[in-house]
A and B are shown apart, each in its own frame.
Chain A
């Protein structure tokens, strides 16, 4: 359930969290209000302050714990930096994800999903025709289940406006 040994990235994570908490603690007077004449327990400022103080306290103790088990050596510093850079690796997929979200109200859920699944499958390293068809089938299946059957609320695509009236309504409702 837990781990005892030090892992690369522990220190940089602890420091980052501590830095964020300190910035938030300093922002308390500007980001929360104090109402004169209102008892302390009913002040809107009380609860976030309590949370941030708790976070800072545990964060500080955690940082000390990490610091004590951290022997500063060049290799370990490099390890911390490598780990930090590895946390940014998903940014590429975040970009694809945001592009997908942006495309849905324009190209419609069906077309966007088919493109997202097929292109991301290729990007993930599956370059066979079989996987291409599997990705299209998966994307199509998801659209059918969620949009056509469960009727979840997803904006219809602007592209559907160019279809003939009957088809446009059909696609707006089901795809």
Chain B
């Protein structure tokens, strides 16, 4: 308790407040613009945060991460175009409500649902911290190796119908992370005698290419959409009363978001799909789902906004990012010499609590901002797409050039941009590459570190934690293969 109170001291600093405001309001604006999204924004801002105080840099990025989905619901509800990919499910019921002249009600319901999900997950996080602080130091190299493997397996099998290509891209990401000078024998790996490849591929360069530059190409080559905004009529309190009416759905969806957020490699998509199905299952009128059911909006928005805080658990406790955005944040921690992992909860618990408190304040500020500024945000949604492409390309330069002032980095970033552009055109996933890169590095390090205690393969899983995680991996794979088999049987019959 004393630690929680002492960590409030960070709010006595003006720069923390500036970071919170910039991150939260900036995140909402970025989320509200279809085609940008938090991944692009965080990738661009990442190098700029390196020169900041750790808590400031991470707060800005957390603000964007935690608030973008609030903003993403606005175009999802009003123009049937999700602001961020994870708002896609909100379009089902949100846009239907807009067509029924209930746009204001749908939007405020989305805000309150997101707020509930956000606050619920932070409270869960605070209550779980003492448990995490006890459990995290028990994780050894073999346990972290297994946890990273779990993340990779889950990210592959969670891409249903694209499992094979997701698997290939995960291994591609892992391979990229091996290029350059390795740190044990100091030998070159796949450098093809090119000096610029000695230091390997920087994560930021790859991230910016795959997420930001590729998106700029998509926007620049595509056409501008003409959108007509529906008017917002009704009271701001309507959505709040809907939330009170369906509080059970909100709580179940938030809990689902927390559970899915904690599991590495799963994230917002599965959280909201599970929540949506549960909400439909317990509803008196399941036939309304997809046609303007308030519970549908609550389920998707509460679940997806509960994920960011929960996703911080594997990142902070084990140093294992569960998805692309936390993978980006991991690099900020490393730059500031704060190594996420079991040690963080022992030595820097005040820092961890400071992050949680910042997340609460971010959610409150976003909620207040949105209740009063939505009508101004509608103008931002109408920014021409190709001009957005120009801006993202210009901003990407800042992101990649500031790393080393290197032309080679910029060219590599552009090459990854073209690769990302091809992947996006083919509707193939990008996240497995990033997680492969980050988790692949962790796995190689932990694999080598654990060798001193390994005689047989069984030694990898004979510890309680690594054994449990291995059992989860096996169960997840069995469920996956069973569902494929069931699908195959259904098709053939």
Give A contacts to B, CB under 8 Å: 1-4, 7, 9-10, 13-14, 17, 24, 27, 31-33, 35, 38-39, 41-42, 44-45, 47-48, 51-52, 54-55, 58-59, 61-62, 65, 83, 86-91, 93-94, 96-98, 100-102, 104-105, 113, 116-117, 120-121, 124-126, 131, 134-135, 138-139, 142, 146, 150-155
B68 at the interface (CB under 8 A from A): no
Give the nearest-CB partner of B400 in chain A: A101
Chain B stretch 146-198: residues in CB contact (< 8 A) with chain A: 158-162, 164-165, 167-168, 170-172, 174-175, 178-179, 182, 184-185, 187-192
Report chain B residues within 8 Å CB of A151.
51
Q: A120 is contacted by which of B217, B390, B411 (Cβ under 8 Å)?
A: B390
The 4 closest A-B pairs by CB, nearest first: A2-B161, A55-B171, A58-B167, A58-B168
CB B297 to nearest CB in A, in angstroms, measures: 20
Known pairs A58-B171, A135-B390; A97 contacts B425 (CB<8 A): no
Chain A residue nearest to B156 (CB atoms) is: A58
Assess whether B387 is in contact with A97, with CB atoms less than 8 Å apart: no
Binary A-proximity of B394-414 (CB < 8 A = 1, otherwise 0): 111110011001010011001
Task: Determine how close the nearest CB of chain A comes to the CB of B317; give it in whole angstroms.
Answer: 25
Among B167, B191, B216, B426, residue most surrounded by chain A Cβ atoms (within 10 Å): B426
Chain B contact residues, CB within 8 Å of chain A:
47-48, 51, 158-162, 164-165, 167-168, 170-172, 174-175, 178-179, 182, 184-185, 187-192, 213, 216-217, 220-221, 269, 273, 384, 386-387, 389-391, 393-398, 401-402, 405, 407, 410-411, 414, 417-418, 421-422, 425-428, 440, 444, 447-448, 451, 454
Question: Is A52 a contact of B171 with CB atoms below 8 Å?
Answer: yes
Contact yes or no, A2 B160, CB < 8 A: yes
> B427 to A3, Cβ gap below 8 A?
yes
A123 to chain B, nearest CB (A): 9
CA distance A154 to B191 in the complex (A): 27
User: Which B residues touch A97, using CB under 8 A?
Assistant: 213, 393, 396-397, 410, 414
Which secondary structure dominates where chain A touches chain B?
helix
Q: Knowing A97-B397, A146-B398 are in contact, say whether A65-B164 is a contact too (CB < 8 A).
A: yes
Given A86-B425, A113-B394, 4 other A-B residues pairs in contact with their CB atoms under 8 A? A3-B161, A4-B161, A51-B174, A52-B171
Contact A98 to B411, CB < 8 A, known contacts A42-B448, A154-B405:
yes
Given A58-B171, A93-B216, A125-B386, also A33-B158 (CB < 8 A): no
Centre residue among B165, B395, B451 by max chain A CB count within 10 A: B165
A48: contacting residue among B158, B178, B185, B213, CB under 8 A: B178
Instruction: Assess the A13–B426 pair: CB atoms within 8 A.
Output: yes
Closest to B186 in A: A44
Considering the complex, give the chain A residue whose CB is closest to the CB of B393.
A97
A91-B419 Cα distance, complex, nearest whole Å? 11
Query: Are the CB atoms of B402 and A152 closer together than 8 Å?
Result: yes
Query: In this complex, what residue of B is CB-closest to A88?
Result: B418
Most B CB contacts (10 A, CB to CB) among A31, A151, A155 go to: A31
Nearest chain-A residue to B402 (Cβ)? Answer: A152
Q: How far, in angstroms, from A16 to B387 measured CA to CA in the complex? A: 32
Interface of B is mostly: helix
The answer to whether B172 and A55 have CB atoms under 8 Å apart is yes
Inter-chain contact total with CB atoms closer than 8 Å:
192
Task: Assess whether A121 is in contact with B387, with CB atoms less than 8 Å apart.
Answer: yes
A124 touches B402 (CB 8 A): no
- A90 vs B396: C-alpha distance when bound (angstroms): 15
B48 touches A41 (CB 8 A): no
Partner of A42, one of B389, B427, B451: B451
B414: chain A residues at CB < 8 Å are: 94, 97-98
Q: Would A90 and B451 count as touching, CB distance under 8 A?
A: no
Which residues of the partner chain A approach B191 to less than 8 Å between Cβ atoms? 31
- B171 and A124 contact, CB distance less than 8 A: no
Query: B448, A41: Cβ atoms under 8 Å?
Result: yes
Q: Which of A48, A150, A155 is in CB contact (< 8 Å) with B405?
A: A155
Contact status B48-A138, CB under 8 Å? no
Most central of A87, A96, A104 by chain B CB within 10 Å: A87
B51–A152 CB distance below 8 A? yes
- Asked whether, in the complex, the Cβ of B159 is within 8 Å of the Cβ of A1, the reply is yes
Listed A/B pairs (22) with beta-carbon separation below 8 Å: A1-B161, A13-B426, A31-B191, A41-B451, A51-B171, A52-B171, A58-B165, A58-B168, A86-B425, A87-B422, A94-B414, A97-B393, A97-B396, A97-B397, A98-B411, A113-B394, A124-B387, A126-B384, A134-B387, A138-B394, A154-B401, A155-B405
Q: Which of A31, A90, A94, A124 has the most CB of B within 10 A?
A: A90
Q: Contact: A93 with B161, CB < 8 Å?
A: no
User: Which residues of B lie under 8 Å from residue A131 when comparing CB positions?
Assistant: 387
Q: Contacting A154 at CB < 8 Å: which of B179, B396, B398?
A: B398
Say which residue of A2, A61, A89, A154 sits within 8 Å of B162 (CB atoms).
A2
What's the minimum C-beta distance from B23 to chain A, rounded to whole angstroms? 14
